[in-house]
Amino acid sequence: MATLTAQPTPAPSRALQGILCVEIGMLLFVGQDALMKSMLLAYPVWLLIFVRSIVTLLVLTPLIWWLGAPHRLLTPLWPLHLARAFLFASGFSMFYAAFPFMGLAAVSTIFFAAPLVTALMAALFLGETIGPHRSMALATGFIGVLIAMNPGGDSFSWVALLPLCTAVTYAMSQILARRIGDRESTLTVGLYTLSFAGMLILPMGWLVNQLIEITPATHHLRWDLPAEAFTDLPRLALLGSIGMAAYMLVSRAYQVANASLIAPFDYSYLPLATFVAWIFWNETPGLNTIAGMVLITGSGLYLGLRELRAARLNDKAPVTAETIFVPGNPLTPQIPDLDKTQ
């Protein structure tokens, strides 16, 4: 399985390259989500997720042949891949379905509880130990989630549960990824997840349309193919291309520099998303969103850096795709190291 090996002590040039890659990647992820938010005015969420998966597949498929590893597509673990694909499709459907109702910063802040939920699930289902330091960090982070959601407040809406559910589906996908472990290559995991997700997302959208009433407020959940989609193919392709480029840049960042150096920059997504939302939609996050953002970011950074420190002290395996939290595309597999032929 392709791994992203952190360099022992990166030279200043490699460290700078890593920081630039992750920051440009975060900016592109914000751009992808902003474009998604704007396109939901004209297109159903199911179509946009489907297009994004197809574009990613069009990039990964020739990459497999270029790496000379088509044999790695053979897998006995298709039920696990199918389960991850369902989590991908349902998780992102809920994440983007919240966009028309909530600010980009608010949705993203709640979703960033994903690493906290992952740590909790790893303790419950994988038997991983949570010491007092991690327990305090988890408690602080979940308090931040509650503050950001503001239950009981006048501004609370059930829609705030959607990004929280996405955080849960992300955590579940990480647990499945650990079950898969090194038995599958990163490319295999990626292609099967995206292929199955592409097949699932459209019937999933049809089922939702049978269960709920489509109103002007839920117009982005409708089941149809707008006629303008055929003339808007460049913008649809751009949506998928931006996300793919962002993920490759973030992957590259973890390949050229220490994960302990790069990981904190993942959280730059939140202020970038806040700024972009203010520029384009005049969205100003409330005090509860800002307070929750600070607590979630602080606890997430503490958990991540403490995990990296423990891995170094215990001489554990290097950081892999499944241990890296990348916002905006959490269930998409990591791109392999392009400097190597696996």
Per-residue pLDDT reduced to its tens digit, 313-335: 665 544 433 344 455 444 343 43
Helices assigned H by DSSP within the chain: 12-39, 45-67, 78-97, 104-111, 114-125, 132-149, 161-180, 186-211, 233-256, 259-266, 269-281, 287-313
63 in a domain, yes or no? yes
**Domain coverage including residue 172:** 12-323
pLDDT tens column, 43-88: 999 999 998 888 878 877 777 777 666 666 677 888 888 999 999 8
**pTM score:** 0.81
105 in a domain, yes or no? yes
Q: What is the pLDDT of residue 147?
A: 92
Q: What's the mean pLDDT when you consider all of the chain?
A: 80
334 in a domain, yes or no? no
Q: What average pLDDT does the segment 21-41 reach?
A: 93
Domain total for the chain? 1
Distance CA 257, CA 248 (A): 14
% of the chain exceeding 90 in pLDDT: 31
Q: What is the pLDDT of residue 7?
A: 46
192 in a domain, yes or no? yes
pLDDT tens column, 153-165: 766 788 999 999 9
329 in a domain, yes or no? no
Distance CA 332, CA 194 (A): 7
More confident residue, 127 or 16: 16
Q: What is the pLDDT of residue 303?
A: 81
The tokens describing 60, both together, are 């990964």
7 in a domain, yes or no? no
Q: What is the pLDDT of residue 338?
A: 38
152 in a domain, yes or no? yes
330 in a domain, yes or no? no
Q: What is the pLDDT of residue 186?
A: 65
pLDDT tens column, 94-116: 999 999 999 999 999 999 998 88
Least confident of 91-100, 118-127, 200-209, 271-280: 118-127
**What are the angstrom distances between the C-alpha of 238 and each of 65, 128, 252?**
24, 41, 21
